[in-house]
């Protein structure tokens, strides 16, 4: 379906983008690269949507409108993959495969520009998926009022599944998530005379332990939840009990009621444990992304197109990782799906410093986008 010379060129594009990663809301060169390609193929291109996002539209007659989203940002980490096209910028790496998502969409857009269909096709190149909520920024700047669609779709490469495999669940795909910071304040003292102070580190340690009771004892074992402490900071000297200690981490859930429960129990436990040890706890709790929830009819359409294209349709559990495509699905029905991307042998996972998008799936993933667009827009 996609000419081999175009696939070879797309792989070269992907490796170029991989070598030049850009972080959320700073994807200026990436956006310019995308805009140049899409303009050359006849798309109406709008840049600066959600700061650094790009929307490219192509209309061929009266009919439905669909959106295909590809995230474009990299992660703030140093790559150790060792490939020839590894990141040339310390502290920036395409360790989640967004470079592959961009080029998969570009390869499909190139073919679809020459494909008869009826309706409007919009490619949404979204910035800042990693933590900063670029989807929300695009929506706040009128994404779906300026560029209306009847349905929206997004793909993520998935190293946990074999190439040729697709997963599109009817509802839950990715969890909601929040971040938290608990500042524990006590009374500093000499390490040799702890009775003269109120030990913030001791209180922090007990709070960390108590937080694990939320998922274990407050949430039904039949419901999904995660409470993870990922940082504890406090103290600078060997012989000083610090005045303050800081606990940071993340929480995950699907059901909004569980999200409310987690926050309420976290606040109660932190306050109670700290007070019991003569300290005070101040909780900062920020809900970042909602759950990524597919529309069942659109998930079925994805599975039907995948099966017709010869892909293996798998049924797996959702992931407790998060995805800001959730904001788009809150506005417009659609489907977020995983495309199997496992490598033979060493197979680093997403966000590993050794990760590199599997170019072997690029052709099949781009061909799937073409098949889905043709199915949705009544292509001949």
- Going from the first residue of the chain to its last (380 residues), give the mean pLDDT of each consecutive group of 10, the final group possibly shorter: 93 98 98 98 98 98 97 98 98 98 98 97 98 95 98 98 98 98 98 98 98 97 97 98 98 98 98 98 97 98 98 97 98 98 97 98 98 88
Per-residue pLDDT, 1 = 75
Question: For residues 318, 319, 324 and 327, what is the CA-based torsion angle, rounded to 10 degrees?
Answer: 30
Measured distance CA(111)–CA(6) in Å, rounded: 9
Measured distance CA(135)–CA(369) in Å, rounded: 20
Per-residue pLDDT, 379 = 65
In this structure, the answer to whether residues 131 and 168 fall within a common structural domain is: yes
Q: Are 236 and 242 in contact (CB under 8 A)?
A: yes
Residue for token digits 């797996």? 316
Residue where a domain terminates, one of 289, 306, 336: 289
Looking at residue 131, which CATH number applies to its domain? 3.40.630.10
In this structure, the answer to whether residues 305 and 365 fall within a common structural domain is: yes
Per-residue pLDDT, 273 = 98
In this structure, the answer to whether residues 86 and 118 fall within a common structural domain is: yes
Give me Rg for the CA atoms of the chain.
Answer: 23
In this structure, the answer to whether residues 188 and 232 fall within a common structural domain is: yes
In this structure, the answer to whether residues 307 and 164 fall within a common structural domain is: yes
Measured distance CA(68)–CA(151) in Å, rounded: 9
In this structure, the answer to whether residues 251 and 306 fall within a common structural domain is: no
Residue where a domain terminates, one of 241, 259, 289: 289
Residue for token digits 């998008």? 357
Measured distance CA(303)–CA(37) in Å, rounded: 29
Measured distance CA(94)–CA(320) in Å, rounded: 21
Q: Are 117 and 374 in contact (CB under 8 A)?
A: yes
Per-residue pLDDT, 52 = 98
Q: Where are the alpha helices (DSSP H) in the chain?
A: 4-19, 28-40, 98-112, 134-140, 143-146, 200-213, 256-276, 296-308, 325-331, 362-376
- Global model pTM greater than 0.85: yes
In this structure, the answer to whether residues 72 and 157 fall within a common structural domain is: yes
Distances from the Cα of 140 to the Cαs of 154, 213, 322, 336, in angstroms? Answer: 19, 37, 20, 21
Measured distance CA(99)–CA(325) in Å, rounded: 17
In this structure, the answer to whether residues 278 and 360 fall within a common structural domain is: no
Distances from the Cα of 17 to the Cαs of 21, 53, 73, 152, 333, in angstroms? Answer: 6, 16, 10, 25, 30
Measured distance CA(265)–CA(370) in Å, rounded: 47
Number of domains in the chain: 2
Measure the N-to-C terminal CA separation of the chain; round to a whole number of Å.
14
In this structure, the answer to whether residues 184 and 280 fall within a common structural domain is: yes
Closest CA to 68 of 112, 10, 107, 122: 122
Residue 286 has φ and ψ, to the nearest 5°, of: -125, 120
Residue where a domain terminates, one of 289, 304, 328: 289
Measured distance CA(198)–CA(154) in Å, rounded: 51
In this structure, the answer to whether residues 52 and 87 fall within a common structural domain is: yes
Looking at residue 230, which CATH number applies to its domain? 3.30.70.360
In this structure, the answer to whether residues 123 and 190 fall within a common structural domain is: no
In this structure, the answer to whether residues 29 and 9 fall within a common structural domain is: yes
Measured distance CA(200)–CA(365) in Å, rounded: 52
Q: What is the span of the domain harbouring residue 10?
A: 4-174+291-376
């Amino acid at each position: 379906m996609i000419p081999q010379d175009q696939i070879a060129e797309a792989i070269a594009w992907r490796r170029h983008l991989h070598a030049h990663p850009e972080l959320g809301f700073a994807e200026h060169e990436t956006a310019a690269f995308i805009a140049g390609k899409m303009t050359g193929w006849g798309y109406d291109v709008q840049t600066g949507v959600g700061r650094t996002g790009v929307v490219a539209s192509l209309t061929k007659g009266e009919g439905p409108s669909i959106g295909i989203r590809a995230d474009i940002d990299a992660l703030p980490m140093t790559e150790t993959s060792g490939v020839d096209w590894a990141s040339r910028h310390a502290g920036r790496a395409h360790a989640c495969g967004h470079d592959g998502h961009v080029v998969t969409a570009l390869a499909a857009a190139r073919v679809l520009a020459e494909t008869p269909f009826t309706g409007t096709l919009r490619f949404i190149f979204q910035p800042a998926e990693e933590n900063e909520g670029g989807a929300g920024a695009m929506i706040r700047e009128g994404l779906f009022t300026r560029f209306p669609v009847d349905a929206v779709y997004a793909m993520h490469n998935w190293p946990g599944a074999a190439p040729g495999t697709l997963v599109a669940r009817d509802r839950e795909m990715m969890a909601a998530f929040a971040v938290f910071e608990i500042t524990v304040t006590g009374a500093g003292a000499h390490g040799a005379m702890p009775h003269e102070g109120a030990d913030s580190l001791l209180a922090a340690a007990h709070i960390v332990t108590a937080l694990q009771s939320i998922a274990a004892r407050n949430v039904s074992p039949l419901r999904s939840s995660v409470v993870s402490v990922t940082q504890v900071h406090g103290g600078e000297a060997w012989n000083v009990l610090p005045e303050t200690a800081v606990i940071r981490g993340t929480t995950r859930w699907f059901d909004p009621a569980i999200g409310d429960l987690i926050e309420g129990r976290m606040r109660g436990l932190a306050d109670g444990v700290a007070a019991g040890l003569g300290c005070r706890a101040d909780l900062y709790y920020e809900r970042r992304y909602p759950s990524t929830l597919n529309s069942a009819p659109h998930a079925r359409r994805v599975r039907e197109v995948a099966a017709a294209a010869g892909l293996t349709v798998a049924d797996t559990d959702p992931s407790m990782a998060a995805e800001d495509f959730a904001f788009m699905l809150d506005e417009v029905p659609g489907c977020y799906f995983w495309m199997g991307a496992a490598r033979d042998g060493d197979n680093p996972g997403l966000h590993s410093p050794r990760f590199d998008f599997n170019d072997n799936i690029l052709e099949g993933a781009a061909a799937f986008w073409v098949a889905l667009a043709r199915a949705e827009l009544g292509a001949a």
